Amino acid sequence: MDIMESTTMGETLVQPPSNSQNTSSELRARFFRLMSHEFRTSLNTILMSVELLETSDEQTPEEREHYHQQIRVAAQHMSNLLNEALDNFNP
């Protein structure tokens, strides 16, 4: 997913410019809202999966592997988001 073109809650990061200063601030605010949402979603997946692994003794090996896979996928998603944000950051 390209975070520079993503939409969330009906918002898009690409809009026609109105005022350069306002547009830059608006785009930055939307970008951080999107990043925060994506990070929270992945963190919640990781935390929920870890909690399920820690609290349930009756899981099958397949269920345990499923939770481990969810953790791996969520962590990789966060890593990709961070790398893309850093790659697109222009101070």
* CATH code, domain carrying 33: 1.10.287.130
Q: Which residues are CB-neighbours of 68 under 8 A, at least 6 positions away?
A: 49, 53
Confidence class of residue 18 from pLDDT cuts 50, 70 and 90? low
Cα angle vertex 55, ends 78, 50, to 5°?
10
Q: Report the sign of the C-alpha dihedral through residues 77, 81, 83, 84, in that order.
A: positive
* Segments in the chain forming alpha helices (H): 20-55, 61-88
- Band the pLDDT of 91: cuts 50, 70, 90: low
| Residue 54: inside a domain | yes
Task: Write down the pLDDT at residue 46.
Answer: 96
The better pLDDT of the pair 8, 80 is held by: 80
Q: What is the average pLDDT score of the chain?
A: 81
In a domain, 33, yes or no: yes
CB contact set of 1 (below 8 Å; sequence gap of 6+): none
> What is residue 19's predicted lDDT score, i.e. its pLDDT?
66
**Residue 6: inside a domain, yes or no?**
no
Number of domains within the chain:
1
* Unique residue bearing structure tokens 């345990």: 64
Average pLDDT of the residues in 36-51 = 94
What pLDDT band is residue 73 in, cutting at 50, 70 and 90? very high
Is 76 inside any structural domain? yes
Domain that holds residue 69: 17-88
User: Counting beta carbons within 10 angstroms of the beta carbon of residue 74, is it exposed (0 to 12), middle (13 to 18) or buried (19 or more)?
Assistant: buried
